Amino acid sequence: MLKFLYEHLHKLRRAVQILVVLVFIAVPILNDMGITIIFGTLYSISIGNLDIVDPALTLQNILMVKELPVVMLLGALIPLAVALLLGRVFCGWACPYNLIAEYGDKLRRKLRPKSVKKQNRNPKNPIYWIVFGIIFLVLMITGLPLVTYFSLPGLITAQMADLLFLGTVGIEILLVLVILLLEVFLSPRFWCRFVCPVGATLALARSGRTMRVNFDAEKCTCAPAEFPCNKACPIDLNPRKAGIYPYCFNCGECVDTCRSFGKALTFTMQPLEERNINLNHRVRELERS
């Protein structure tokens, strides 16, 4: 089972991503026909009596309304539990915006080949949390439900539902277009890397035992000449270096690519050991020499 997963990581991920889009096309159509077993959007979805709620929205409602919404708290448990176990797999495997942005990024690499670096640098950690803090501070002061508009998976599925169920589309959809254009022509994948409050909330649920990409320097065969794993990363991280979290959403593209080389990159639930950090140091020394 695990071996099968490893062998078809890329194909499986695309299948899951497309399946999610198909589900959110089917849901409003089924609802229109009167079948309401599944209804809702990625803001909040009900499957039978089970409610799943975007944890970023739960946080928004707690901070803005200043009372505890019980259903939303319970609904946020499932996404947070998945994030605690497997990391931000929602972003990499389910988010419809990521699917669009990945193709946008392919376009970016074709249009602006100069923006493709041979070796990526992992962003500094605090930027992510500073942006996250600012978003929630602004919404607490102004009372504007910012997360609702910044939660692109919810926004996209909600607009899809509006289009299929009511036949109308709101101007919010332009936000997706603007962000996509900015990502293609200005700052590659800045939304998923620095802004998205949904990803940041999921990143909060990270422990030492959360699934992560492990790099075994002893097995790495292509460094320091080539960096196929760097090229494969959809959000321009360097899985060979420390500090890919909280940005990495465990999509497994680097793991998939590395399988045709030394199989140095693998998924693991084991906490990061001192040994690996020492190995990273050794690789850096090797690179320098």
Partner 1 sequence: MFSLFRKFLEQLTGKHPPLRPPGAIPEKEFEKKCIRCRKCVEVCPYDSIEVAHGEWGIKMGTPIIYAREIPCYLCMKCPPVCPSNALLPITQKEEVKMGLAVINEVTCLPFNGVICRACYERCPIYRKAITLRDEIYPVVYEEYCTGCGICENVCLTNPSSIVVNSKHFTNIMKIGENE
* Chain contacts with partner 1 (rule: CB under 8 A): 27-28, 31, 34, 36, 39-41, 43-46, 51, 53-54, 57, 60-61, 64-65, 69, 71-72, 75, 143-145, 148, 154, 158, 161-162, 165-166, 168, 170-172
* DSSP, res 155: H
C-alpha span between 151 and 156 (Å, rounded): 9
Nearer to partner 1, 67 or 285 (CB): 67
Distance CA 244, CA 118 (A): 17
**What is the nearest approach in angstroms of partner 1 to the Cβ of residue 121?**
36
Rg of the Cα atoms in the chain: 20
| Best CA proximity match to 93, nearest among 15, 161, 191 | 15
Is the Cβ of residue 164 or residue 272 nearer to partner 1 in the bound state?
164
58 vs 257, which CB is nearer to partner 1?
58
C-beta of 31 vs 276, nearer to partner 1: 31
Q: Are 154 and 197 in contact (CB under 8 A)?
A: no
Q: What is the full DSSP assignment across 87-122?
A: -SHIIIII-HHHHHHHHHHHHHHHH-GGG--SS--P
Strand extents, DSSP E, the chain: 38-40, 44-47, 50-53, 212-215, 265-268
Q: Quote the least distance from Cβ 40 to partner 1, whole Å.
A: 5
Q: Which is nearer to partner 1, 15 or 65 (CB)?
A: 65
Tell the smallest beta-carbon distance from residue 37 to partner 1 (Å): 11
For the bound state, the minimum distance from the C-beta of residue 165 to partner 1, rounded and expressed in Å, comes to: 6
Find the shortest distance in angstroms from Cβ 152 to partner 1.
Answer: 13
